[in-house]
Amino acid sequence: MIKAIVTKVSFIAGVALAGGIAAARPSSSLPDNPIWTEVVPPFRIAEGLYYVGSRDIGAYLVDGGRAGLILIDAGMPDFAPQVLKNVRTLGFDPAKIRILLNSQAHIDHAGGLAAIKAATGARLLASKADAPLLDAGGKGDFFFGDEVTFPAAKVDGLVRDGQAVTLGRARLTAHLTPGHTKGCTTWTMPVSISGRTHVAQFNCSMTVPGYSLLGNRNYPNMVEDYRASFDKLRRIPCDLFLASHGSFFDLDRKRARLAAGMGKNPFIDPEGCRRYLDLTETRFREQLARERAGKGVVQK
């Protein structure tokens, strides 16, 4: 099972390198991958939207004004205190986090939810398909089984496809994009940059980290879900390309350009969003063809 865990890290590195991005290094076990907990300064992406994650695991703070704050994802279990510190560094009170949202019920994105929920009293909202994994701390995962667990985070409410989550002036929309997890959720929200409104997309993930696509008794409709999600994501607006992993959207380069004030906001990148979908769909189709030809799963 450790080999399976490493596969996820390795696949992310492969995607990043193919896009010309500085990639995460594979590690001997997922929790020890240094780039996933490497601290970077939190920063403002757009009006009311901030980055509070690590160098490669995304976490996003949304300012709803007087109504409070929304946090999307919480990183690895041990990174939760740093997320809260990042919120304070930006001048916000973590106690005002009212809503927690999750992209996927994997340890690197959901691991810190329980600690942040305990520290803030925020309500956790998640998709119906991923909620049982969050409640169980990752146990019963269709791929990892009970091997990659994290502190259980009780889900307080379920979100449906197309449902809007609002808090004060903040409004996020849930788009179910299953495949990577059964309840993988991509979020979108309108943001203002230099007086113009853009749509920010927080892509869950479209990678296939060592899964067997065919004949998977724990997820028999995986192929159909991936296909439907690729189709859906090509229709969902994506002006600001953000995601669960910084390596998916070239976080290192973009945050450096933003800090240097080099031209327009570098996170406005619809082309990068399309390239990411093209690359991950190509990888998906290649693996599906290999499995159909009896050549097995490629360990990325």
Assess contact for 271 and 197: CB atoms under 8 A. no
pTM for the whole thing? 0.90
| Amino acid present at 59 | A
Enumerate the β-bridge partners of residue 50. Answer: 44, 61
Question: Tokens at residue 275, please?
Answer: 């390239």
- Average of per-residue pLDDT across 235-256: 97
Question: Tokens at residue 206, please?
Answer: 């479209």
Q: What tens digit of pLDDT does each residue of 131-179 get?
A: 999 999 999 999 999 999 999 999 999 999 999 999 999 999 999 999 9
**pLDDT on residue 298:** 55
Among all chains, which residue has been given the structure tokens 């990892």? 144
Half-sphere exposure of 99 (CA within 13 A, CB side): 24
- Average of per-residue pLDDT across 56-85: 98
Among all chains, which residue has been given the structure tokens 């996003």? 60
Cα distance between residue 120 and residue 100, in whole Å: 10
**106 alpha-carbon distance from chain centroid:** 9
Averaged pLDDT of the chain: 90
What is the architecture, at CATH level 2, of domain 2-292?
A: 4-Layer Sandwich (3.60)
